[in-house]
Amino acid sequence: MPMTPHDAPPVAATAPNSGKAAPKQAAPIARKIAVLGSTGSIGVNTLDLVDFASARGDADISIEALTAHRNLALLVEQARKHRPEFVAIGDETLGPDLKDALAGEGIETGAGPRAIMEAASRDADWVMAAIVGAAGLEPTLRAAERGAAIALANKECLVCAGDLLTEAVRAAGGALLPVDSEHNAIFQVYDFDRPNRISRLILTASGGPFRTWPKEKMARATPAEAVAHPNWSMGAKISVDSATMMNKGLELIEAAHIFPTPHERIEILVHPQSVIHSMVEYVDGSVLAQLGAPDMRTPIASTLAWPDRIESPSAKLDFAEVSELTFEAPDPDRFPCIRLAREALARGGAYPAILNAANEVAVAAFLDQALDFAGVATVVELVLEKAERLNAPGRIASLDEALEADATARRLAREAAAERAA
């Protein structure tokens, strides 16, 4: 049964935890889904959860579309196993290979940006938006415009064009269901009926692989060291974002769009165990937290079944084994990306999109060993300064404006990275 506007309030506009008794699940949840970015870590975990829920009889799920950028072998394997109606690969040169590999399977195929857009446009009532980077913006907007429930795992959509996306969800009567473990945690304990009773949001952070490293050692960090996250298994780009703590800066911007709490009252707290995924503090001093093992299948399950719940193969918490939970403030000197993100959010307009694009270019240069680790934050800061001199535009009012800001920032970032490497 597809989600309706009544079942799935736009942009979490009403309370998922309203206090009403949850109805007993009379039948498996029914979903027709699309997974945009099915070969990445989130996409793989999503399909793993689909297998688990289907095998248990908890869910009746049909797959409308799967997409990937370049991982042809895994995409073909997923298509043969899950039998989607449509499969698309972003790299147009791989289109003939995809078509040949699935010949006779009864599965439509496509390649290139138009095919990715077609996948987002097809009749799926739940869409996992897991395409990494700004490339995920346009297809996610397309899915939102037709009223799908968007399971949002792409940070950049809200960072680059948060107003556009949330307005599209509201206008079409869809839902925006955060997949990031931090936002999903807040979503589960946030009182949307009484947001004025919330005093602050606390986004927790693992601190990444360099939490205890001195600044001088961090400056010499290699890509292999940066992607070795202590708690989570993630892609290279987001792992580097965790190492710089830019991921928390991007999550701060996301949270400001998802939850009706002023961004000045959204805080970041390092919690190395990654057991408490975020917290909501109420005006009476109560703090509600969502806890769970560090496994992305838990928040994915939350969004796939919402407003119901289904079993997940995630490990259950053993509190005796956890034994202790510790917290510390992030070090602004060693992790300047948090400050840069907060400044971009306060400036508003195109600045968050510029921040994101500059960071993507800088991270890619670092992974290619063309930029040192400390240079990632330096490049982002230089681009923000140049954008200010260029009078970056105010509120992003269209996709074209978001893409223009993105392109300008990328050009400036490439120039800054090249200058630092020279």
**167-213 residue pLDDT tens:** 999 999 999 999 999 999 999 999 999 999 999 999 999 999 999 99
User: Position 168: which residue type?
Assistant: A
What six digits make up the tokens of 317?
Answer: 């918490």
Q: Give the separation between CA 274 and CA 325, rounded to whole angstroms.
A: 9
**Contact in structure between 379 and 362 (CB atoms under 8 Å):** yes
**pLDDT tier at 9, thresholds 50, 70, 90:** very low
User: Position 386: which residue type?
Assistant: K
What six digits make up the tokens of 103?
Answer: 């010949």
**pLDDT tier at 383, thresholds 50, 70, 90:** very high
Q: Which of 36, 257, 225, 241 is nearest to 160 (CA)?
A: 257
How far CA 404 is from CA of 161, 165, 209, 392, 398, in Å, comes to 12, 17, 34, 11, 10
**Start-end ranges of CATH 3.40.50.720 in the chain?**
10-179
Residue 4 has pLDDT above 50, yes or no: no
**pLDDT tier at 230, thresholds 50, 70, 90:** confident
**pLDDT tier at 233, thresholds 50, 70, 90:** low
Q: Give the separation between CA 189 and CA 184, rounded to whole angstroms.
A: 9
Q: What is the pTM of this model?
A: 0.87
pLDDT for res 13: 41
202-296+330-421: which CATH topology?
Answer: Rna Polymerase Sigma Factor; Chain: A (1.10.1740)
Q: Provide the 3-class DSSP secondary structure of residue 352.
A: helix
Residue 355 has pLDDT above 80, yes or no: yes
- Distance, CA of 58 to chain centre: 25
**pLDDT tier at 5, thresholds 50, 70, 90:** very low
**Start-end ranges of CATH 1.10.1740.10 in the chain?**
202-296+330-421
Kindly report the CATH class assigned to 10-179: alpha beta
CA dihedral 147, 151, 156, 161 (to 10 degrees): 20
pLDDT in tens, 122-164: 999 999 999 987 789 999 999 999 999 999 998 889 999 999 9
